[in-house]
Structure 1
Amino acid sequence: MQIGPPLEVKVWGEFACFTRPEMKAERVSYPVMTPSAARGVLEAIFWKPEFSWQIREIQVLKPIRHFSILRNEVNSKVVVSTAKGWMERGGGYFAEEDR
């Protein structure tokens, strides 16, 4: 296998979630992009069957910010026509009543 010169790629985004395997139900993220995610980014940019990407280093360029997202787990979906009716006539949907 021939190894070429190192390639540097700058990747950014407002939000990222690199899910930890031990937390399958909850979305708990690693604080930094994982090597397998970095390899996936490189494959998305340039993929050929004869290429094998080897991640040597991941650098963090800005401070990591954490935040929480709360999801409402409900039993049913709201139909668009029902939501439009709420907008026109008032009313709404209460997730606490649909669990």
Structure 2
Amino acid sequence: MKNQIEYKVWAKYALFSDPIMRVGGEKYSYQIPTYEALKGITESIYWKPSIIWYIDRVRIVNKIESQSVGIKTLKYNERNKEKKSDLSMYSYLRDVEYHVVAHFEFNENRPDLKKDWNVNKHSAIAKRSLNSGGRRDIFLGTRECQGYVAPFSFNEGKSYYENIEEMYFGTMVHGVDYPDESKDGNFNIRFCRPIMKNGIIEFERPEDIEIVRLLRKYDKKEFNKNNFKNVEATYDEIFGGE
């Protein structure tokens, strides 16, 4: 497929934070990356507003291991005014590697960018960006978990769990629907129940997810000549045309 890329991503640490555990100021990682986290990594490789990346499948290569670290954070409450910081426990995944298959489709919510709907163009740029390690910094879940990407054939990979027929992970966050990508134009959050089979997780498409919760209603922003300025106009505004 011209609109598809395959790559591996690896890092010393990863933190795909479970939102339930963050209520008390601590972070605990899911055992596997979320769909949205992998989508964010793919968008860091290459992204344009005229396309949407879809994650097809991921292979969990290494054994799932965690490591807890004590982190000093800003004071969470006002009970002790002399105390300037709190000690929180962050649970990271360590020594992670994932093999990913992703493809892009054109964003039909942005008909104003229809002139940019060129499969050959975006495919070529995405593969060049992947070969160079991505256009932006790669991180796995949180900013402190720096990662790296490289092209990799998905069919060549092996998993620590390749001999385990099925492994369940319960209900977890699938991803977020942003107004410019969702069908209803709202800001939604999706939940799924992923199943790993022989080390591979096949993700459902966002529109096929049944458990969806509305976070907030938004109006999609339209980009046209009347609501943005070019670089020269902005420069003249700031520096007075000098």
Q: In structure 1, what is the Cα distance between the partners aligned to 2:30 and 2:8?
A: 19
CA 1:76–1:54 in 2, change beyond 3 Å: closer, same or farther?
Answer: same
> What amino acid does structure 2 have at the position aligned with 1:38?
L
Aligned length: 75
- TM-fit CA distance, 1:5: 4.4
Structure 2: gaps spanning 5 or more residues: 76-82, 86-242
Structure 1: gaps spanning 5 or more residues: 78-99
Residue number in structure 1 paired with 2:54: 54
Alignment partner of 1:23 is 2:31: no
Residue number in structure 2 paired with 1:92: none
> What amino acid does structure 2 have at the position aligned with 1:58?
V
- Give deviations 1:24-76, integer Å, cap 9, x for gaps: 12211011111100000111110111111111111111112111112356723
Residue number in structure 1 paired with 2:8: 10
After TM superposition, the score normalised by the length of structure 2 is: 0.29
Q: How does 1:1-99 map to 2 (within 5 A)?
A: 4-24=2-22, 25-72=25-72, 75-76=83-84
Supply the RMSD in Å over aligned alpha carbons.
2.1
**Percent pairwise identity:** 31
Bigger strand fraction: 2
Using CA pairs below 8 Å that are at least 6 residues apart, which structure has the higher relative contact order?
Answer: 2
> What amino acid does structure 2 have at the position aligned with 1:8?
E
Moved more, 49-58 or 3-12: 3-12
